[in-house]
Amino acid sequence: MNNNFFSGSRFWAWFKYDLRQMWQNHFKAALGIGLAGLIVYVIFVSWNLIFEGTWQGPGLGARIATFMLAGTILELYQTRTYGYLTDKRKGSSFLMLPASTFEKWLSMILMTLIVIPVIFLAASASVDTLVCLLDPTVGDSMLKVLSDNFNSISKSLAEVNGEIQEDFGFGLGIVTGPAIAAFCFNFLFFLLCGVCFKRYKILWAFVIIFAGSTLLSILGVTLDWNVNTDTVDTLRSFLGAATWIVAGIAACFGAGIFLRLKTLQH
């Protein structure tokens, strides 16, 4: 392979550099977002102490909702992690650092899809577990509930229109495939918006989401799309196709980010 395209040692040097940059600028934010559960816990307990006179922490539902909200904020935050590339001074520095565009891109993708989400998940799970260990009023932790009900969640998801699919792998697959594809789609979409738009990055992202949804709705009505999920097989086919389409679009976002890096000028 051409050394100017990818070199293991150079990539490792770049990845370490990128990690340090992330640590100095963005990991603390990812950790902070992951600690949202603790903030909600303090608010809940304080509220109940002041207005109810009892010590009562947030239940499972409130904690899951907090986790989902924090996850959404983390998604939006992806417009900021590499958003500085559109800034003339910082973007110029980035482009002039000696690593190939592919190496810079690969590191960016790894940070966005693995490193930052892992930090967020670790922070969220640790806070939730710690809160549940220290305060019995909140009940079981999200991790314990997930592990206790893993089997039944998978099986119940396999039950469609009365037809029960006992295959454990099917139930698991029906959740994980689309979830991973949707996760990649969302994170890469906001990252792409971050490196493409100079200003109002989140606003532009929402404008595109709105325009895209409207277009899809119009197409759906016009072409009379009819999704048949009456049986396990048709549901499996539909979800399989949808997962591949979403994953394909996410891959296009990834390619778009590479293209943007390659053609960015300051």
Partner 1 sequence: MIEVSNLSFSYGLKPVLKNISLRLEGGNIYGLLGENGVGKTTLLTLLCGLKKPQKGSIVTDGRNPFDRDPALLGEQFYLADEPAPVHAKACVFGSSTGSLWPKYDQAKFLEILSEFEVDPDQMMDTMSSGQLKKTWISFALACNARHYFLDEPTNGLDIPSKSQFRKAIMKHTGEDSMVVISTHQVRDLEEIIDPIIILDKEDVLLNASLEQISRKLFFDYGTQIHSDALYLEHTPSGAIQVYPNTSGEESKVNLEALFNAAHSHKTTVKALFHE
Q: Which span sits near partner 1 by CB under 8 A: 13-21, 30-38, 61-69, 244-252? A: 13-21
Beta strands in the chain (DSSP E): 159-160, 163-164
Torsion angles phi and psi, residue 141, rounded to 5: -75, 160
Query: What is the total count of residues that contact partner 1 (CB under 8 A)?
Result: 28
Q: Is 202 in the site for partner 1 (CB under 8 A)?
A: no
What angle separates helix 60-81 from helix 168-196, to the nearest 10 degrees? Answer: 40
Shortest distance, position 108 Cβ to partner 1, whole Å: 15
Please write down the long-range contacts of 127-130, taking CB distance under 8 Å and 24 or more positions apart. 127/34, 127/35, 127/37, 127/38, 127/41, 128/37, 128/63, 128/67
Q: Binder to partner 1 among 69, 97, 146, 252 (CB under 8 A)?
A: 97
- From residue 23 to residue 42, what is the string marking binding to partner 1 with x (rule CB under 8 A)? -xx-----------------
User: b/e string for 164-197 if b means 16 or more Cβ within 10 A?
Assistant: ebeeeebbbbbeebbeebebbbbbbbbbbbbbbb
User: What is the Cα gyration radius of the chain?
Assistant: 22
Structure-token pair, residue 43: 């608010």
Cβ distance to partner 1 smaller for residue 15 or 67: 15
Q: Which span sits near partner 1 by CB under 8 A: 14-22, 151-159, 169-177, 251-259? A: 14-22
Looking at residues 126 to 185 of the shown chain, list those that interact with partner 1 (rule: CB under 8 A).
none
Shortest distance, position 97 Cβ to partner 1, whole Å: 5
Q: Is 199 in the site for partner 1 (CB under 8 A)?
A: no
Q: Binder to partner 1 among 36, 74, 99, 192 (CB under 8 A)?
A: 99
Q: Is 95 in the site for partner 1 (CB under 8 A)?
A: yes
Q: Is 252 helix (H, G, I), strand (E, B) or coil?
A: helix
Q: Is 266 in the site for partner 1 (CB under 8 A)?
A: yes
Q: Give me the residues that bind partner 1 (CB under 8 A), please.
A: 3-4, 7, 10, 13-14, 16-17, 20, 24-25, 87-90, 92-93, 95-101, 103, 263, 265-266
